[in-house]
Structure 1
Amino acid sequence: MPSTLSMPRIVDVVQTLRAGLTADNAKNAVVFYIVLSHARQAWRHVWARGLLTTFGEIYTWAAKGVLQVVLRLPSMRKRVATELGAVRAQIQRELVPSGPEVVQHLRLPVESQSLEWILDEMAKMDAQGPSHTDFRQGRLSGAVYHGGDDMEKILVAAFQRYCVSNPLHPDVFPAVRKMEAEVVAMCLRMYNNPTGAGATTSGGTESIIMSVKTHRDWARAVKGITEPEIVVPASAHAAFDKAAAYLKIKLHTIPVNPETRQVDLKRVRRAINSNTIMIVGSAINFPDGCQDDIVALGKLAKKYSVGMHVDCCLGSFIMPFLEKAGFPVEPFDFRVEGVTAISCDTHKYGFAPKGSSVIMYRSAELRQHQYYVNPSWTGGLYASPGFSGSRSGALIAGAWAAMHYMGEEGYLASCHDIVGAAKTIERRIKTEIPELHILGKPPASVVAFGSRNAEVNALEVGDRMSKKGWHLNALQNPPAVHIACTRLTVAVVDAFIDDLKQAVKEAKGAELGKGTMVAIYGLGTSSAIGPQMVGAVASAFLDALYQA
């Protein structure tokens, strides 16, 4: 029987089949790659977080979805809008002065105002402000790191001399360039890395974001990582979360030991994978003032060839002087192998003006990845070390002047007094207030306390301390309160303990009030969308800051 297909026709059929198979294979390969990629990401997520945490995240996600649907109902939407409106109004009442005596300046004056008028108007605004806390009385946790009246004169003199200077133009302001380099050099030696490199920034948050950006770009250039991840303790500063959000980096938050308050090293190790660009430790952390095991974290960083950032923003000019001041301290600086970057705030215990920090790197090669350089911009060659273009040379001059005014002896004495005050507070809480307990073993200037049982709510204690004129920091997970001691705290330690005892007595067995700490952090744990509601309140607060 003769074939119904000629040879040319058979060839065409074969080629058609081959083309079809090739297309199908390509489609299958793409689908397989996508599935495999997502499966690998899911596996890494579960492996890093653990099954229980992952299931908890899934439950929260599902519950949040259900509640979001409920909140779309007209009646619920109206109720939530009414409640948030009341909160916004309350925030504005507390932050924005009002009344017939308040003069608003919403437009440029037609004529120039004199220095006397300006100073007088500033004095009026100070008197009209809603604040009930005079920072000079020392009833304040951190916030203002006052170096004394003599230091104020030093800073004002530096500001006056360099108030219009701009480090973006080192040829115009060579002295500012020199001072900036010297501030960085002094900090590097303070943290035992005289051959390293660094840069000044506008504060601890920018220092941390710059470090994350630097390690991201380093990992991309050296290791080819295009889907970067970082591993941070739950106690690390929120600036790392902020950096991850800004820079599109996956962040793994690792729980801390409830007793030591140090990050769980086993969980850190599990979270490290081929996409990890850096891990993080604090010396000291903001929430409870405790220090992570920097040596162990450094070993992990070295073993897996990832970056290791030590956040010393709060430890700043305290941690390097602890040993000489007679206090025990675990290794934390560049002498620890594996540490690649350290952030240090000169505007905290260095007593420099606000808006001053330093990010330090183990090597100048690593710092190269922090820079932004645009050689082809039509405006000319553009290069900057960090986020800012133009910067204030006055802040740099202020930091340089403060560091020279204090010197090693001054910082050593400051460390001795401040940490001594913190140790006294810690000891007296332990021995005189049995209803409270200290979180971890804080080595430096911060003391955090929580409640031993349900009889006393730590946040209620914090709210009652607020009524007594103290401005303390509320914590969550677990609920607690902390005080960051400064030079101003040294003189009011006895008053703090006396008021704290009274606040505990008042809070014991009492029905929870409506103070800020209880209200905000109670809302945050009320439901799956509690954090979102707290976020809405926080946004209302930020809006109020710009309400004239």
Structure 2
Amino acid sequence: MSSLVLPDPMIVRDFLRTRTPYETAKTALFVYVIVTHTFKLYRHIRARGVTDSVRHSWTWACKQALLLALKVPSVQKDVQQKLNQARLEIEDKLVPKAVPRHLALPEEGKSVEWILAEMAKMDSEMGPKADWRHAKLSGAVYHGGDDMLEVIVAAFERYAVSNPLHPDVFPAIRKMEAEIVSMCLRMYNNPNGAGTMTSGGTESIVMAVKTYRDWAREVKGIMEPEMIVPATAHAAFDKGAAYMNVKVHLIPVDPLTRKVNIKRVRRAINRNTILVVGSAVNFPDGNQDDIVALGELAARHNIGLHVDCCLGSFILPFLEKAGLADGEDGGARYKITPFDFRVRGVTSISCDTHKYGFAPKGSSVIMYRDATLRRHQYYVLPDWTGGVYASPSLSGSRPGALIAGTWAAMHYMGSDGYLKSCYEIVSCARTIANTITNSIPELYVLGSPPASVVAFGSKSLELNIHEVGDAMSKRGWHLNALSGPAAVHIACTLLTLPHVNTFIADLKDSVREAKENPYGKGTMVMLYGLGSSSAVGPDMVGEVATFFLDALYKA
């Protein structure tokens, strides 16, 4: 057996003596770069796994080859023609042609009567899609009833010009915002915690990413932050990471339970990890991650755990009182596990008041376990020429009317109102889920969603679930298409309650139509088919999405 032969120490010493300091520094720098990148590669592969890392590398190589092929003039011309056609189709759907346009300020101001008449004309000329009251929606409008609208409008009228940036001018708005945060903290079992209001779930999540980035930099000296996010977590986490320059490790979920893979989360944690994310419930399929297990990992490694309850909002905290937290319904087992600040390791929670809280759109709350952590969310510039500048979140000026409307909505509903709406909405969702499971053999429900969202996919490759979604669209339903796996979901609201039987009947008819006469040209089929067509499919879908965003601002 051969032994390891070490170099003679005298030779090594003589070698080092003959090198200049410059050469030694170059060698040290080279070794540092190699070692640093080796550790980065190791952490990356450990988090993603060898199989996923190889697959991603192969996909990247294929993508580069295809992008190179797309530079061939004839191919490039053909692709551009198809993209232009897609852009025109999007504009045709979003931008009406035969309507009056107001592209410049009128020479003279218009009367209130003219303005209201013009609004009514736009609503009628834009077609039935503008009428959300027909209730064939997945989420989108979380309507608390006409009486609730009256309450919100009254609050808007009273505080229309208010701005919490000036608490000395609008002290009532400051008081209401603090009370909204306090009510939410108590609802999530952390009366001594801290938080702020934001413009919505996305801002709440982006603020959480910013908070943990700054906390980890100050407390732990982390300069290359990383966060661990379930594949089913909201896209706002990726958005926040892009804004805050934080590396994201997407962790797969169990295909049956739809909960994040805890073993993969554990493996992904390293010295640069600042944050782990869990959903209660997630947006795509409405299932809840194992928050208790995630909390144990977060506490053990002294990292943050943010629980995204934006969609669970005013549903999950009332499930237990509504008698819906643990039991069987229609043959299915529904069980909600701990998710709030009572769980060890949970350090922040986001909750959308403008969803099942029925507050006006543009309101959410980000909550922290303590005020010390919240300070890392603030932005303070003490030596600005205009004076000391300090803001709690992204916005400077904020609409106090939204805060007043949220405060009014929460007081109007009260705990009893939210308990009632929770029971009705969740019962509606479970009726849909149980019917799919027991009466539509071609479909299956993803996981065991405990709250308001039900996602369903096709059991067979012979039935394209997005074809079913397009067939539902022809029947007036606005549902959400999903990928990974291909599925469609509905988020039930109070507006859904009177139409649950219509939804079930339409779904059965749509399944039959998709099986017997597939159209193949619907929005869901075309868009999601394009995304999975090749390695550059997502890039093409991204280009189409950009056309959509451009069309939003085409007057």
When the two structures are superposed, what TM-score results if normalisation uses the length of structure 1?
0.96
Distance 2:115 2:20 in 1: 81
Measure how far apart 1:330 and its partner are: 0.9
Measure how far apart 1:455 and its partner are: 2.5
Kindly, what percent of the aligned residue pairs are identical?
Answer: 65
Letter matched to residue 54 of structure 1 = S
Does residue 277 of the first structure (1) align with residue 284 of the second (2)? no
SS at match of 1:437: strand
Does residue 39 of the first structure (1) align with residue 38 of the second (2)? yes
Which residue in the other structure is 1:9 paired with? none
Letter matched to residue 164 of structure 2 = P
Which residue in the other structure is 1:341 paired with? 348
CA contact (8 A) 1:346 1:357 kept: yes
My pick for the range that moved more, 460-469 or 76-85, is: 76-85
CA contact (8 A) 1:94 1:130 kept: no
Distance 2:462 2:81 in 1: 34
Gaps of 5+ in 1: 1-16
Which residue in the other structure is 2:338 paired with? 331
Q: What whole-Å deviation, never above 9, does each CA across 1:413-464 have from its counterpart, x for those lacking one?
A: 0000000100111111111101100000100000000001123211110100
Pairing partner for 2:376 from 369, 374, 388 = 369
> Cα distance 1:131–1:234, how it changes in 2: closer, same or farther (>3 A)?
farther
Pairing partner for 2:449 from 422, 442, 459 = 442
Q: What pairs with 1:162-177 in structure 2 (closer than 5 Å)?
A: 162-177=159-174
Distance 1:206 1:376 in 2: 26
Measure how far apart 1:132 and its partner are: 3.0
Letter matched to residue 300 of structure 2 = K
Does residue 384 of the first structure (1) align with residue 383 of the second (2)? no
Q: What whole-Å deviation, never above 9, does each CA across 1:187-210 have from its counterpart, x for those lacking one?
A: 000000000000000000000000
CA contact (8 A) 1:95 1:130 kept: no
SS at match of 2:164: coil
SS at match of 1:132: helix
Pairing partner for 1:154 from 143, 151, 154 = 151
Measure how far apart 1:133 and its partner are: 6.2
Pairing partner for 1:358 from 341, 361, 365 = 365
Measure how far apart 1:20 and its partner are: 4.4
SS at match of 1:421: helix
Does residue 258 of the first structure (1) align with residue 255 of the second (2)? yes
Measure how far apart 1:373 and its partner are: 0.2
Q: What whole-Å deviation, never above 9, does each CA across 1:354-382 have from its counterpart, x for those lacking one?
A: 00000000000000000000000000000
Does residue 248 of the first structure (1) align with residue 245 of the second (2)? yes
Which residue in the other structure is 1:95 paired with? 94
My pick for the range that moved more, 18-27 or 372-381, is: 18-27
SS at match of 2:129: coil
Which residue in the other structure is 1:490 paired with? 497
Letter matched to residue 83 of structure 1 = K
Measure how far apart 1:219 and its partner are: 0.5
Measure how far apart 1:93 and its partner are: 0.5
Measure how far apart 1:137 and its partner are: 2.2
Distance 1:267 1:399 in 2: 39
Which residue in the other structure is 1:4 paired with? none
Letter matched to residue 337 of structure 2 = E
Which residue in the other structure is 1:232 paired with? 229
Distance 1:541 1:130 in 2: 19
Q: What whole-Å deviation, never above 9, does each CA across 1:117-175 have from its counterpart, x for those lacking one?
A: 11111111111215536322221000000000000000000000111100000000000
Measure how far apart 1:514 and its partner are: 0.7
CA contact (8 A) 1:133 1:471 kept: no
CA contact (8 A) 1:133 1:470 kept: no
Which residue in the other structure is 1:6 paired with? none
Distance 1:310 1:362 in 2: 12
Does residue 290 of the first structure (1) align with residue 287 of the second (2)? yes
Which residue in the other structure is 1:187 paired with? 184
CA contact (8 A) 1:184 1:198 kept: yes
Letter matched to residue 322 of structure 1 = L
Does residue 205 of the first structure (1) align with residue 202 of the second (2)? yes
Q: What pairs with 1:66-85 in structure 2 (closer than 5 Å)?
A: 66-85=65-84
Q: What whole-Å deviation, never above 9, does each CA across 1:440-489 have from its counterpart, x for those lacking one?
A: 01000000000011232111101000000111100000000000000011
Distance 1:131 1:233 in 2: 37
Q: What whole-Å deviation, never above 9, does each CA across 1:223-245 have from its counterpart, x for those lacking one?
A: 00000000000000000010111
Q: What whole-Å deviation, never above 9, does each CA across 1:25-59 have from its counterpart, x for those lacking one?
A: 11111111111111111111111101110011111
SS at match of 1:65: helix
What's the RMSD between the two structures over aligned residues?
1.3
Gaps of 5+ in 2: 1-15, 326-335
Q: What whole-Å deviation, never above 9, does each CA across 1:473-510 have from its counterpart, x for those lacking one?
A: 00000000000000011111111000000001111154
Distance 1:143 1:186 in 2: 24
SS at match of 2:311: coil
Q: What whole-Å deviation, never above 9, does each CA across 1:67-124 have from its counterpart, x for those lacking one?
A: 111111111111111111111111011000112xx11111111111100111111111
SS at match of 2:490: strand
Measure how far apart 1:220 and its partner are: 0.6
SS at match of 1:503: helix
Which residue in the other structure is 2:216 paired with? 219
Which residue in the other structure is 1:29 paired with? 28
SS at match of 2:376: helix
SS at match of 1:508: helix
Distance 1:284 1:134 in 2: 28
Which residue in the other structure is 2:537 paired with? 530
Measure how far apart 1:21 and its partner are: 2.7
Measure how far apart 1:512 and its partner are: 5.0
Does residue 404 of the first structure (1) align with residue 411 of the second (2)? yes
CA contact (8 A) 2:479 2:490 kept: yes
Which residue in the other structure is 1:501 paired with? 508
Which residue in the other structure is 2:527 paired with? 520
SS at match of 1:151: helix
Q: What whole-Å deviation, never above 9, does each CA across 1:253-297 have from its counterpart, x for those lacking one?
A: 000000000000000001000000000000000000000000000
When the two structures are superposed, what TM-score results if normalisation uses the length of structure 2?
0.94
Q: What pairs with 1:122-137 in structure 2 (closer than 5 Å)?
A: 122-132=119-129, 134-137=131-134
Aligned residues: 532
Distance 1:527 1:477 in 2: 15
Letter matched to residue 464 of structure 2 = N
SS at match of 1:110: coil
Letter matched to residue 165 of structure 1 = S
CA contact (8 A) 1:97 1:130 kept: no
Pairing partner for 1:312 from 300, 309, 314 = 309
Letter matched to residue 178 of structure 2 = A
Does residue 140 of the first structure (1) align with residue 137 of the second (2)? yes
Pairing partner for 2:104 from 99, 102, 107 = 107
